[in-house]
Amino acid sequence: MSDPGADTVLVVDFGAQYAQLIARRVREAHVRSEIVSRDITAEEVRRRRPVGIVLSGGPASVYADDAYRIDPAILDLGVPVLGICYGHQLLADLAGGVVENTGTAEYGKTPLEVTGDSVLFSDLPRQQEVWMSHRDLVAEAPPGFEVVASSPGAPVAAMENRQRGLFGVQFHPEVAHTPRGNEILRNFLYDVCGARPTWTSHSIIESQVEKIRAQVGDARVICGLSGGVDSAVAAALVHEAVGDQLTCIFVDHGLLRADEAEQVEETFRGHFDVDLIHVKAADRFLEKLAGVTDPEQKRKIIGETFIRVFEETAREVGDARFLVQGTLYPDVIESGSGTAATIKTHHNVGGLPEDMELELVEPLRDLFKDEVRVIGEELGLPPEIVWRQPFPGPGLAVRIIGEVTRERLDVLRAADKIVVEEIRRAGLYRDIWQAFAVLPAVRTVGVQGDGRTYAYPIVVRAVTSEDAMTADWARLPYEVLEAMSSRIINEVPQVNRVAYDISSKPPATIEWE
Ligand code: XMP
């Protein structure tokens, strides 16, 4: 995925979440970043010709027997290196300094004092607050390094060897809790690495359009639309590149949210004038799902049926040779971390049927979700699609516990619409990662007027998250919860009770199934 046009910074991964955040901050400074495994060799680094390297933080200790290392020759390539937290300690260790575990950990907001003449802190206050999270510390900087900042628990909170272009900071400049962190990173990127701010949505679109054209030539391309932002932006990019060589296929499995299908149709037909095949396949999906209650079984049925429908429709397009997928960067990072256990079988809408012999076009492979959104806006997609909260491929089927029936879908769809409307009304839609309704497989007793009711409860789920790997339940204001509850109970006759899910991920997951 190297892109000769843009200056690139390599972020060496010692802990996936740390590395991803750093990579995003670098890109926010309009410099292209690429996350690489800690096993990368100096030779490979040289081949990629980065303007700088950042060694990320991570959970390990440089002492541990199996401590993560890097090829030490990387430090001698003449490419500037910035070590952050674990990366700072590793840099100190490799360059001949002393790293110790003194038993005094620092965690949280910490005052930092800039004590030396420094490039990283140039034009920044001598006293500032930074976010620390460490047990080990650099007790002695390596020879040739100047200590430029310290904190109460870290005598070498920042060090620089300008001659060799090696820099280290014990704190985390990439997190929002370090208020001047972005400026520190920018000082490294612009003043030390001499990076040019060439990573902009305009340049990304330009280079992707060029790549897509080079890949597909004058062949036909198909794209599965899901209603979500990723497939929509991927389709819009490909449309920008090859116009009416693109046919979009939108399989409506009957498990979508209220008004979703209409919006997709309206956007792509009305706005972009894309050749769109809208397959209304709700009956087929619901027939297959009849009587099925096991979550994995549901996912498998939906995934398989989707592929069959998609394949059949794709055949109508006849001579298509390429299939567009909205794969994002976090899915393809060559991470240094171990493999995660399969928690749920994820079904990607537009998933590739193995025997279709279509070549993949993946124009979002280099991008994080926030970048995808910005590009979507620049390409003219409406905000309802660009800012839409993520929605699982199997749709409402994994939010209906137990059997999926038309009646239960209608109840859930009506309640879900209210949840989303109230979140929007409160101005929270973009701050909340996902907010939705869940329909459990129980009924509850209530009283309405003078009569007893025996009806469905609805569970409201709203979470905040950076990347869906972890999530916290959203502290919604009581008034918002109250509005949801009374509207759902008043407007959806089959519901007599509303509960709010206050579990985080882990140990829960975002979806209920
Ligand atoms: P969980 O429930 O595992 O969900 O915490 C994490 C994120 O993934 C979404 N999700 C899916 N997305 N196909 C998808 O495209 C799926 O099968 C699927 N299952 C869950 C979920 O909505 C959340 O954003």
Confirm whether 248 is a catalytic residue: no
Reduce the DSSP state of residue 276 to 3 states and report it: strand
The dihedral sign for the CA sequence 430, 433, 434, 435: negative
- What does the mean pLDDT of the chain come to? 92
**Residue 347 Cα: closest atom of ligand 1:** 17
Residue with CA nearest ligand 1 atom 9: 392
SS (H, E, C) 445-501: EEEECCEEEEEEEEEEEEEECCCCCCEEECCCCHHHHHHHHHHHHHHCCCEEEEEEC
Q: Average pLDDT for residues 209-228, to the nearest whole number?
A: 95
Q: 347 alpha carbon to ligand 1 midpoint, in Å?
A: 8
Both ends of the chain: CA-CA distance in Å?
35
pLDDT digits (tens, 9 = 90+) for 348-361: 544 445 566 789 99
Confirm whether 278 is a catalytic residue: no
Instruction: Write down the catalytic residue from 30, 34, 85, 134.
Output: 85
What contacts 137, CB < 8 A, 6 or more positions away?
89, 99, 100, 101, 102, 104, 106, 153, 154, 155, 156, 170
Residue with CA nearest ligand 1 atom 7: 468
Confidence of residue 29 (pLDDT cuts 50, 70, 90): very high
Q: 513 alpha carbon to ligand 1 midpoint, in Å?
A: 9
Instruction: Write down the catalytic residue from 30, 172, 239, 253.
Output: 172
Q: What is the pLDDT of residue 2?
A: 46
**Residue 303 Cα: closest atom of ligand 1:** 17
Q: 511 alpha carbon to ligand 1 midpoint, in Å?
A: 7
Q: What is the pLDDT of residue 290?
A: 98
Residue 345 has pLDDT above 60, yes or no: no
Nearest to 421 by CA among 290, 227, 259, 267: 259
Residue 364 has pLDDT above 80, yes or no: yes
Domains contained in the chain, CATH given? 8-192 (3.40.50.880), 201-386 (3.40.50.620), 399-500 (3.30.300.10)
Lowest mean pLDDT among 307-321, 399-413, 496-510: 307-321
Q: 495 alpha carbon to ligand 1 midpoint, in Å?
A: 26
Confirm whether 239 is a catalytic residue: no
Q: From start to end of 14-143, where are the E strands?
A: 32-37, 52-55, 81-84, 98-114, 127-140
Confidence of residue 162 (pLDDT cuts 50, 70, 90): very high
Residue 114 has pLDDT above 90, yes or no: yes
Q: Average pLDDT for residues 415-420, to the nearest whole number?
A: 98
Q: What is the pLDDT of residue 338?
A: 40
pLDDT digits (tens, 9 = 90+) for 201-218: 999 999 999 999 999 999
Mutating to test ligand 1, I would choose from 229, 325, 344 the residue with most ligand atoms within 8 A of its C-beta, which is 344
Contact by Cβ (8 Å): 131, 98: no
Q: What is the pLDDT of residue 372?
A: 96
Between 47 and 354, name the one with better pLDDT.
47
Amino acid of residue 322? F
Q: 460 alpha carbon to ligand 1 midpoint, in Å?
A: 17
**Residue 299 Cα: closest atom of ligand 1:** 17
Q: 509 alpha carbon to ligand 1 midpoint, in Å?
A: 9
Q: 255 alpha carbon to ligand 1 midpoint, in Å?
A: 14
Instruction: Write down the catalytic residue from 174, 183, 422, 513.
Output: 174
Pocket of ligand 1 (CB under 6 A): 343-344, 346-348, 390, 392-394, 434, 468, 505, 509-511
**Residue 228 Cα: closest atom of ligand 1:** 15
Residue 454 has pLDDT above 90, yes or no: yes
Confidence of residue 346 (pLDDT cuts 50, 70, 90): low
Residue 286 has pLDDT above 70, yes or no: yes
Mutating to test ligand 1, I would choose from 300, 511, 512, 513 the residue with most ligand atoms within 8 A of its C-beta, which is 511
**Residue 226 Cα: closest atom of ligand 1:** 15
Distance CA 439, CA 437 (A): 7
Residue with CA nearest ligand 1 atom 22: 392
Q: Average pLDDT for residues 122-138, to the nearest whole number?
A: 94
pLDDT digits (tens, 9 = 90+) for 49-86: 999 999 999 888 888 878 889 999 999 999 999 999 99
